[in-house]
Structure 1
């Protein structure tokens, strides 16, 4: 398959309904909302496990029973993480090597587990790390 090149700012590319920037903002807000609902397994940090972090970004994640789910979020979203009372960690846990596809698979398997009646009291703490 060939490569499509569109001149202009990537974030302003639209499908006719939303720009990439709008969709990315939606993803960030939805992830923070999910983290707020699962406080025992949610975290964020200004540094990766090795202490590094690209300027202007933080990393946030969930320790789910199906595996870790992480995203980089714009540093501008830190106030939202604080409002959501997501726990801040000194550094992120070591990355397990997951890909974007792994994240989708882990979320889908987690949704399947919840749909199969995972006990309510373990829904937000199963997979929790100390």
Structure 2
């Protein structure tokens, strides 16, 4: 069986789920404009062809994703010349985003 973006769990394809994740992350970034940024370059000046990086700085550290340039317009956040240096965050650090809720609530 070929596994690609059209592979489905019976409800959604991988492509649909990645699109959903991007939309949800854009909402988080757009609602936290003072903390969010996007760049066409990593901090060392490199970047994957036709991609950009978008991130948000939470009280617990940064969280980022790379997206195709076609999706640049979804992120109405500050454009920076170079992304901040990667702080080593990993997929399991997604819970850093929860710290935004406590920060907004003033906890």
CA 1:51 to 1:65, structure 2 compared with 1: closer, same or farther past 3 Å? same
Divergent runs of 4+, >3 A: none
Asked which structure has the greater CA Rg, the reply is 1
Query: Do residues 79 (structure 1) and 86 (structure 2) align?
Result: no
CA distance, structure 2, for counterparts of residue 44 and residue 55 of structure 1 = 16
CA distance, structure 2, for counterparts of residue 40 and residue 111 of structure 1 = 12
> Which has more helix, going by share of residues?
1
Computed over aligned residues only, the root mean square deviation of the Cα atoms, in angstroms, reads 1.8
Structure 1: tracts of 5 or more residues without a match: 1-5, 120-130
Aligned partner of 1:125 in structure 2 is none
Aligned partner of 2:88 in structure 1 is 97
Aligned partner of 1:47 in structure 2 is 41
CA distance, structure 2, for counterparts of residue 41 and residue 111 of structure 1 = 10
Task: Tell me by how many angstroms 1:111 deviates.
Answer: 5.6
Aligned pair count?
A: 107
